[in-house]
Amino acid sequence: MKNLQSDLSSVVRLNIGGKKFCTTTDTLTQREPDSMLAAMFSGRHTLCQDSDKAIAICCYY
């Protein structure tokens, strides 16, 4: 059985254009390993957090 604590520690809260989402670092880095999200959450970059400690991702369209 997986360790629930380790599962919870990999949960990431995102603020994407003002909408809040929750996912895991595994989803962001392993599903599409060559994606921009995988690069952002690889640990090589500093990420900005909003006032709720969610990772802020700005979307411009």
Strands 11-16 and 19-24: antiparallel
Superfamily of domain 4-57: Potassium Channel Kv1.1; Chain A (3.30.710.10)
Residue 15's φ and ψ, nearest 5 degrees, are -120, 100
**Per-residue confidence (pLDDT) for residue 11, from 0 to 100:** 93
pTM (two decimals): 0.73
Residue 31 is predicted with a pLDDT of: 87
Per-residue CA distances from 58 to 4, 10, 23, 45, 54 (Å): 31, 22, 17, 16, 12
Reduced to 3 states (helix: H, G, I; strand: E, B; else coil), residue 24 is strand
Residue 9: the pLDDT is 56
Q: Can you give the pLDDT at residue 7?
A: 57
Q: How far apart are CA 7 and CA 19, in angstroms?
A: 23
**Domain locations along the chain:** 4-57
pLDDT digits (tens, 9 = 90+) for 3-54: 555 555 589 999 998 999 999 999 999 989 999 999 999 889 899 999 999 9
